[in-house]
Copies of this chain bind each other. A is one copy, B any other.
Amino acid sequence: MPSYAVVVDVMLKPEILDPAGQAVLNALPSLGLPPVTTLRIGKHVELSVEAADEPAALEQATKMAEVLLANPVIEDFRVRLG
């Protein structure tokens, strides 16, 4: 079966606080960097999936994201071909 590169981006839901992102945002002025309006940090997962075709590869990655990569209570995820 062919191998497909798939990317899963996992982000905290907008209503969930992101202390790591807030810390980076607050650190900008003291590093002499210009401010940004918003900044949120999530996970970026790159994987190679062996599947029959592209839809099958995306479906497999979506299943993985639902079960293992994202916490559906506090996180959203997006799956795309890499």
A residues apposed to B, CB below 8 Å? 3, 9-11, 21, 24, 27-28, 31, 33-34, 36-50, 60, 63-64, 67-69
Contacts and interface: CB of A to CB of B under 8 A. Distances in A.
Contacts of A49: 36-37
Number of copies: 2
B44 A9 contact: yes
Contacts of A37: 3, 47-50
B43 A47 contact: no
A3 to B, nearest CB: 6
Contact of A67 (B3, B31, B60): B31
Contacts of A31: 67-68
Contacts of A11: 44, 46
